[in-house]
Amino acid sequence: MGEPVRILGLSGSLRAGSYNTAALRAALELAPEGVEMRTAEVGALPLYNEDLHAQGYPPVVEDFRARLRWAQAFLFVSPEYNYSVPGVLKNAIDWGSRAPDQPFAGKTAAVMGASPGLFGAVRGQYHLRQMGVFLDLHFVNKPEVAITQAAGKFDAEGRLTDAPTREFVAKLMVALRDLTLRLGG
């Protein structure tokens, strides 16, 4: 294998004990050979405002956009709020998607989510996929990773301990690497 595939992970949760941020840490741990993975924080970004954008990107936004440009692929790990994505993740996507040089276009992405309930944030994942159409992202279709009843799948330190779920996350990471390579990422 040549250069590693560069994947940027984004958590849609700001909560200190977030299952989604814990799932992102598991993805970092389970990333296959041939992957360099980093994360980017979305909580410090100001609310998107066209007036701010017109004056030039604030430094925190410029740093975030540089991280997006570095990536060949994205892993979105997010809870579901009101059948959609949390505002903090939508805000980050809005800042990232603005001209010039929209840094999502033509790249690959995968989604996963964790929830204490029975749906594993699947409706939020569908909304991320819908946004990805505008962003010109190419999504991994299988496996789908919806971590349901998350409280029983992570230990007290936030480590993903459920073996079948770890296997799904590992397979998703392989699929993201392979799709990126196949599309010439």
For 5-182, CATH gives 3.40.50.360
Q: What is the pLDDT along the chain (185 residues), one digit of tens a residue?
A: 589 999 999 999 999 999 999 999 999 999 999 999 999 999 999 999 988 878 889 999 999 999 999 999 999 999 999 999 999 999 999 999 997 889 999 999 999 999 999 888 999 999 999 999 999 999 999 999 999 999 999 999 999 999 999 999 999 999 999 999 999 87
Q: Give the residue extent of every domain in the chain.
A: 5-182
3-state secondary structure of 93: helix
Q: For every residue of 49-69, which 3-state class applies, written as one string?
A: CHHHHHCCCCHHHHHHHHHHH
Distance between CA atoms of residues 181 and 185, nearest Å: 6
Using an 8 Å Cβ cutoff, are 27 and 173 in contact?
A: yes
The Cα 37–Cα 149 span in angstroms is: 27
pTM (2 decimals)?
A: 0.96
Three-state SS at 162: coil
Cα gap 170→178, rounded to integer Å: 12
